[in-house]
Chain A
Amino acid sequence: MARILPQTKSAAVNPLKTSQPLGAAFAFLGVDGAMPLFHGSQGCTSFALVLFVRHFKEAIPLQTTAMDELSTILGGADNLEEAILNLKTRTKPKLIGVCTTALVETRGEDSAGDIADIKLKRVEEIAGTEIVLANTPDFDGAIEEGWAKAVTAMIEGITRPGEQVRQSKKIAILPGWNLTVADIEHLREMVESFGLKPVILPDVSGSLDGTVPDRWVTTTYGGTSVEDIRELGTAEHCIAIGEHMRRPAEVLQKVTGVPYVLFQSLTGLKDADSFVSLLSAISGASVPAGVRRRRAQLQDALLDGHFHFGGKKIAIAAEPDQLYQLATFFTGMGSEIAAAVATTDMSKILEKVPAESVQIGDLGDLETLAASADLLVTHSHGRQAAQRLGIPLMRVGFPIFDRLGSQHKLTILYQGTRDLVFEVANIFQAYRQAPTPEELDPLRKRETPDGPRSSPLTRH
């Protein structure tokens, strides 16, 4: 069991975290016709928007209630109302996802009460648009928490409550934020190959997959339909992916009685096997030939790839579930987790991370802990640390702004695990240094014992 080390520094150095409201907006972006709205000052939205755009290379719908000094003193209810009405008129969204920020939460705004009032007062104006609220102050949590809160809010606010007639082939899937567009597409095909009908919430594969529509759309286009969210209660089963999706799955069960199964990760042969077995059990269908073929390909990839992983020291910094997903992948290939850094200490999954300890912290911590690692694994902001340490960087998670196509990278099930094996093995092969006589000299080695590399802090 990993020890969880709390953050003790006062100055965070090179943040690992991305803010909680951004995580909530991310989830709302997986719904068709959606418009996420930050309840805060214009900068909160502007920063998040720029970050989304840098990652996805897409126009991203995201608006602000534009709180200023006056509304901060008098209260933000009017700004919230005006923003909702303006969005309704200008963009006609099917869903407005309100995400609060640190500013309104510090002020102690009763945003839920305000939204209830607005819904009462403006029944006609906002008819046909769902408005849901995620309380997501920036001083708490990170992407995971924001994403999970938004999904929970959508189930609580939109899904029709009560036990309903179940459709035996319908499966509700609640994926964690760390599944890419390609992952969701692949997941859907896998589930469908068993004759099942998946309803995925949120479904970023429909909205953030980078297509060229034939008209200009100001909301999201594609993603889970509001109607499908409303009908989630008719699913036979629910499958949640990632520990942070436990709460939304529990809420769905409480509201509609749909039972859930939770997979903490779908990466690696074993987890893929359990997922496929579950689909086979639910559907009563045998595993299709194509899936068996992919399993065999993964077996072969493990055989070919393991030479590159054995004994390697890996330093990972990520949100808790992604940290677990990747750490178990690497240890499953024979590598060792030399450093594990997570964004927040709220997740139970951290204890299960196969590392001696998990530091709650930032990329400054990663840089200190990773000095003797062979590979850094984190988002694009890790590029400076990688450069200073002279260690290759594998980019995962969010944001990835200095590489194209991260949303189309597959990371789950047989095929995604196979791709990860190849990606890592290729990084190691690309970085392989030719041996030198000095390095191999047995006598020289004895004189200067292998100490840790010099502290990154002295390298500026």
Chain B
Amino acid sequence: MSSPSAKIQDVFNEPACDKNRGKDAKARKEGCSKPLTPGAAAGGCAFDGAKIVLQPITDVAHLVHAPLACEGNSWDNRGAASSRATLWRTSFTTDLTELDVVMGQGERKLFKAIREIKETYAPPAVFVYSTCVTALIGDDIEAVCKRAEEKFGLAVVPINAPGLVGSKNLGNKLAGEALLDHVIGTVDPDDAGPYDINILGEFNLSGEFWLVKPLLDRLGIRVRACIPGDARYLDVASAHRARAAMMVCSTALINLARKMEERWDIPFFEGSFYGITDTSEALRNIAELLVRKGADPEILDRTETLIVEEEAIAWNKLQVYRRRLQGKRVLLNTGGVKSWSVVHALMEIGMEIVGTSVKKSTVEDKERIKQILKDDNHMFEQMAARDLYAMLSEHKADIMLSGGRTQFIALKAKTPWLDINQERQHPYAGYDGMVELVRQIDLALHNPIWRQVREPAPWDCQPAVKDEPPSTTSETATVHTLKKFAGKTADDFGEC
């Protein structure tokens, strides 16, 4: 088995990760994922994580070397958006059969698959993903990729993150390593400039990066590579020529950010485009890093001017919602609170945070939460589905913001719910994105269905009908019963 174990140990030892630094050498070796409990586990595998990070690169053919399930059960399932190429949405897999496995034809089939893709689609690169079965049968995908690259004259990149090596998060990092080893730095752009930046860990879900990019354009800042959202292979290959980087999703690509700083002297900061103050802070940080790297300091003033204008517009738009949302209770149930400025903005318009999960939060985060919540009891590591259901069905929150995993707990408890994770339908980044988030909360909370679904059927709550059975009912009684209902609207029924 061409084991990625050396790489795994390497990413488990991440000096830029505060959580990792807090561990002793032994704990560090065990990595960041807790061992799974069979029969009580949730979440994706390393392959899933690697694919999530790389697949939004739009003009690459992503080829999954596996029996059907790895790709067949999972393709075209995430909402990243592309402004140009669409090849990333075409699914490629070697779909290994029993015969392929038994006869050891995996490598041969993989090589031929790369040739077919090259001949039919002529992409700038093919990314080849190893998986549990192809790792187990010992297919050497690195050798096949190398041979195919020489033979067909295009980049063929091995992504060595089979599912059984660990969690989604580990897969994210192994994907970053693959980019460092095989892609970034392989092409030198002829147009590198002092205002070039990289955005790392931005997926452009629902196209939301397009709510931010115009702001950067206005400041004259060029996004050399946004990895992976709406990226092209060449963007990524020449990303080493950027002057500065912003890391958006730290858990996914921190190793990539740090190693790019080490190798190519690209300083980075960790920031977020969720929420008004965070968006401003991110713009400010980008400008400052660029100036530190030699850009004209006048950009700082221009950035401040833009921030003042945009913030004023956004707060103005949000004020409209204050009347409708004041006093509404929000339950945040995500892995860790993605952005404090979202919480800040919700509180600013009068909403109350009644609970939050702290599963992935740092000690520092937990302190902040304590200050925000009126009752620490509402801070929970991870709530069992049953308890969450009980809390919601007792109406202890007016809305839950979470990911798809807990969607049906809220809905079955007849509680408004809004998706704030990767499957969401709406763009929430930047100033306009925050306004959109609040607008969606408003829409979800005030939808007229809630009143309808919460009311029991009229025959379950009205006193049992005393009328005699129809056979003995006199005609006048029937007329009387019908009259009782006449002239009522649907709203008059079911009031218990």
Closest B residue to A216 using CB positions: B389
Answer whether A51 and B74 are a contact pair too, CB < 8 Å, given A67-B164, A138-B68. Answer: yes
Q: B75 at interface (Cβ–Cβ under 8 A)?
A: yes
Contact: B48 with A47, CB < 8 Å?
yes
CB distance from A323 to the nearest CB of B (A): 17
Q: How far is the CA of A347 from the CA of B40 in the complex (A)?
A: 36
Instruction: Give the residue among A13, A40, A101, A107 with the most B Cβ atoms within 10 A.
Output: A13
Contact: B39 with A85, CB < 8 Å?
yes
Contact: B45 with A80, CB < 8 Å?
no
Contact: A381 with B76, CB < 8 Å?
yes
Contact: B90 with A384, CB < 8 Å?
yes
- Find chain A residues with CB under 8 A from B73 CB: 18-19, 22, 47-48, 51
Q: How far is the CA of A457 from the CA of B120 in the complex (A)?
A: 7
Answer whether A11 and B67 are a contact pair too, CB < 8 Å, given A140-B98, A384-B76. Answer: no
Question: Which residue of A86, A142, A215, A401 is within 8 Å of B39 (Cβ)?
Answer: A86
Q: A63 at interface (Cβ–Cβ under 8 A)?
A: yes
Q: How far is the CA of A41 from the CA of B113 in the complex (A)?
A: 25
Closest A residue to B386 using CB positions: A216
Q: How far is the CA of A69 from the CA of B45 in the complex (A)?
A: 12
Contact: A48 with B38, CB < 8 Å?
no
Question: Which residue of B42, B77, B110, B164 is within 8 Å of A41 (Cβ)?
Answer: B164
A1-44 contacts to B, CB under 8 A, are: 9-15, 17-22, 37, 40-44
- Find chain B residues with CB under 8 A from A82 CB: 37-39
CB distance from B415 to the nearest CB of A (A): 12
Contact: A86 with B38, CB < 8 Å?
yes
Contact: A44 with B37, CB < 8 Å?
no
Question: Which residue of A21, A72, A83 is within 8 Å of B132 (Cβ)?
Answer: A72
CB distance from A325 to the nearest CB of B (A): 22
| Contact code string B319-340 (vs A, CB < 8 Å = 1, else 0) | 0000000000000000000000
- Find chain B residues with CB under 8 A from A58 CB: 408
Contact: B93 with A106, CB < 8 Å?
no
Contact: A460 with B164, CB < 8 Å?
no
Q: How far is the CA of A323 from the CA of B121 in the complex (A)?
A: 29
Closest A residue to B411 using CB positions: A212
Q: A159 at interface (Cβ–Cβ under 8 A)?
A: no
CB distance from A21 to the nearest CB of B (A): 7
Contact: A15 with B93, CB < 8 Å?
yes
Closest A residue to B35 using CB positions: A68
CB distance from A362 to the nearest CB of B (A): 8
- Find chain A residues with CB under 8 A from B117 CB: 11
The stretch of B81-89, B262-270, B440-448 that contacts the partner chain: B81-89
Contact: A102 with B45, CB < 8 Å?
no
CB distance from B3 to the nearest CB of A (A): 8
CB distance from B37 to the nearest CB of A (A): 6
Contact: B69 with A42, CB < 8 Å?
no
Number of interface residues of A (CB under 8 A): 69
Contact: B93 with A90, CB < 8 Å?
no
Q: How far is the CA of A83 from the CA of B386 in the complex (A)?
A: 20
- Find chain A residues with CB under 8 A from B86 CB: 460
Answer whether A90 and B113 are a contact pair too, CB < 8 Å, given A102-B67, A460-B90. Answer: no
B46-69 contacts to A, CB under 8 A, are: 46-48, 63, 66-69
Contact: A63 with B40, CB < 8 Å?
yes
CB distance from B397 to the nearest CB of A (A): 16
CB distance from B302 to the nearest CB of A (A): 39
- Find chain B residues with CB under 8 A from A15 CB: 68, 71-72, 75, 91, 93, 95
A360-374 contacts to B, CB under 8 A, are: 362, 364
Q: B478 at interface (Cβ–Cβ under 8 A)?
A: no
Q: How far is the CA of A86 from the CA of B412 in the complex (A)?
A: 25
Answer whether A384 and B39 are a contact pair too, CB < 8 Å, given A9-B116, A140-B97. Answer: no
- Find chain A residues with CB under 8 A from B48 CB: 43, 46-47
Answer whether A12 and B39 are a contact pair too, CB < 8 Å, given A48-B73, A59-B409, A103-B132. Answer: no
Contact: A102 with B92, CB < 8 Å?
no
| Contact code string B93-108 (vs A, CB < 8 Å = 1, else 0) | 1111110110000000
Q: B136 at interface (Cβ–Cβ under 8 A)?
A: yes
Contact: A139 with B100, CB < 8 Å?
yes
Contact: A59 with B408, CB < 8 Å?
yes
CB distance from A121 to the nearest CB of B (A): 16
Closest B residue to A37 using CB positions: B39
Can you list 7 A-B contacts with CB-CB less than 8 angstroms, sorted by A residue number?
Answer: A18-B73, A42-B45, A59-B408, A68-B165, A137-B98, A216-B385, A384-B76
A-B complex: 6 closest residue pairs judged by Cβ atoms = A43-B45, A86-B39, A83-B39, A11-B113, A83-B38, A19-B69
B→A interface (CB under 8 Å): 35-48, 63, 66-77, 85-87, 89-98, 100-101, 109-110, 112-117, 120-121, 132-133, 136-137, 163-167, 385-386, 389-390, 404, 408-409, 412-414, 453
